[in-house]
Amino acid sequence: MLNYSQERLNRRQTILEGISQDLTHSEIAAKLGVNRWVVMNDIRFMQRYEDPEYLRAQEVQEEVRAERDSAVTREKSFVVQNDRFEKLVGMSLREKSFRNMVEFYGPELRRVLKSGDQNAAIMGLPKSVRRTLINNGIITKGRRDNMLTPQAVKHLT
């Protein structure tokens, strides 16, 4: 039993470094030259006893993942297109589509705004129109409390 604990302590530092670098269990196991189940059991052991170094390694792992995800997102085509559009027009694609939808569905939205019960007026609209308005942030989604968003009201008045 003592031998097993010593083996676990020998693997511990490599496992913590692997977690900090956001490596998979298989990659850590390949580094150690053991089966991945051994690594998973060691990690489960650290989780059970709330190892402070393990918790720090997880925080570093989250930072690494967030940094990598933001780098990937910045390179995606829709982000590049949105930036280019914003430089040309001075507003984002999302804001422009919001304005277009408010103008396109203006008569229906004004009827909703003038009605006493916004929820009933919104429920009177076709489902496809409601779905479009929800997707563009013009109305709120709810079962019995649908209403125009403050941005839409501001744009309509």
**DSSP assignments along 64-94, one per residue:** HHHHHHHHHHHHSHHHHHHHHHHHHHSS-HH
Q: Are residues 9 and 63 in the same domain?
A: yes
Please identify, among 23, 41, 75, the residue that sits at the C-terminal boundary of a domain. 75
pTM: 0.51
Q: Is residue 82 part of a domain?
A: no
Residue type, 116: G
The top-scoring range by mean pLDDT among 6-10, 22-26, 93-97, 140-144 is 22-26
What pLDDT is recorded for position 141?
83
User: Do 145 and 97 have their domain in common?
Assistant: yes
> Among 43, 75, 107, where does a domain finish?
75
Alpha-carbon span 63 to 71, nearest angstrom: 12
Q: How many structural domains are present in the chain?
A: 2
**Per-residue model confidence as pLDDT tens digits over 5-38:** 888 888 999 999 999 999 999 999 999 999 999 9
Query: Within this chain, do residues 7 and 53 fall inside the same structural domain, yes or no?
Result: yes
86 occurs within a structural domain: no
| Domain presence at residue 85 | no
61-85 pLDDT, tens digit each: 999 999 988 877 777 777 788 888 8
pLDDT at 88: 87
Strand, coil or helix: 126: coil
Range of the domain at 112: 91-156
